[in-house]
Amino acid sequence: MTYPMTEPAAELAAPFSPCLQDLHDAASRAGLAVSASASWPETGDDGEVTPLAGFIESSFSPLIAQVAVRALERRERPPPDRATATATAIVIVTALGDVTSAARVAAAVDRGERVFPLLFFQSVPNAIAGYLAARWHLTGPVVCVSATSAGLDIAALLIADADADDALVVRVDLAGTSGDSGRAAAILVTGTTSQNNLGTA
């Protein structure tokens, strides 16, 4: 298995960094095949994550978009056209969630200030999932959980039960301190023969 990244384990070993290796290992345990993967940062050129229109103040959603788009562009087949689209589930894994946005909201509330309206729209991880789903026509279920193993187990069952043909699983974590844009990794997974023979009724 080859990973399209230049600095593997050491680069991803910080306390709150998502780990591409963990995603691959969890996919393997769940009986899933990985068709594409990506992470941030991957190379020294990955400095500041590219901002995303409509998402403000926090790198949480832009990080998810960055690794998701990289993985989607690397998948072994071209994106399906709308007439023959497969259903791709989106599973977002985050241990702490968007701590930057949560802290911004809490600070504004504690000061008795109004909250900037765009923070409402990015207050749940579903929003960036919906952004990706719309751009890439991903019609499978949208799920957000806090642990990698759960995320891959969920993806495996969605595929086995034909809720989805494949799944985009993204792990993202912010460090929770200002100035640290966090890290993310994504894999696209499909079922394997053994995974699909689980006694479909």
Partner 1 sequence: MAEQAPAACRGPGTVVLTGVGVLSAFGRGTEALLSGVLSDQPAFGPVQRFDATSRRVRVAAAMPGSPDLLTELDRAVREACDDAALSPGDRAHSPLFLAIHGDPAIGRARPGSPGTGLHGLGSDAFTAEVAGRAGLAAEGFRCYTSACVAASTAIADAAAMIARGRADRVVVAGGYLVDSDQFALFDAGRVLADDGQVRPFSAGRRGLLLGDGVGAVVIESDESARARGARPLARLAGWGRSGDAYHPCQPHPEGHGMARAITAALRRAGIAADDLGYINAHGSGTGQSDPAETNALRLALGDAVADVPVSSTKSLHGQSLEASGVLELIVTLLAVREGMLPVNAGFLGADEACRLNLVLGEPLAAAPQYAMSLNAAFGGANTALVVGLP
Nearest distance in Å: CB 162, partner 1: 5
> Can you read off the two tokens belonging to residue 141?
């279920």
Indicate the residue among 39 and 101 with the shorter CB distance to partner 1: 101
Q: How far is the CB of 192 from partner 1 (least distance, A)?
A: 16
Comparing C-alpha atoms, which of 184, 196, 191 is closest to residue 23?
A: 184
Task: For 116, list phi and psi in degrees, rounded to 5.
Answer: -65, 130
Q: Could you give the string, one character per residue 112-151, with x where binding to partner 1 holds by CB under 8 A and - elsewhere?
A: x-xxxx-xxx-xxxxxxxxx-xx-xxxxxxxxxxxx--x-
* 160 contacts partner 1 (rule: CB under 8 A): yes
The full length of the chain comes to 201
Q: Are the C-beta atoms of 199 and 168 separated by less than 8 Å?
A: no
Query: Helix (H) and strand (E) counts for the chain?
Result: 7, 5
Per-residue CA distances from 12 to 6, 72, 118, 185 (Å): 11, 21, 31, 10
Residue 41 in the binding site for partner 1 (CB under 8 A): no
Among 20, 63, 158, 185, binds partner 1 (CB under 8 A): 158
Residue written as tokens 């790198």?
Answer: 59
Nearer to partner 1 among residue 7 and residue 180 (C-beta): 180
Does 161 bind partner 1 (CB under 8 A)? Our answer is yes
Which C-beta is closer to partner 1: that of 2 or that of 193? Answer: 193
Torsion of the alpha carbons at 50, 52, 57 and 61, rounded to the nearest 10:
-90
Binding site for partner 1 (CB under 8 A): 14-16, 54, 87, 89-90, 94-97, 99, 102-103, 105-106, 108-110, 112, 114-117, 119-121, 123-131, 133-134, 136-147, 150, 154, 157-158, 160-163, 165, 175-177, 180, 198-201
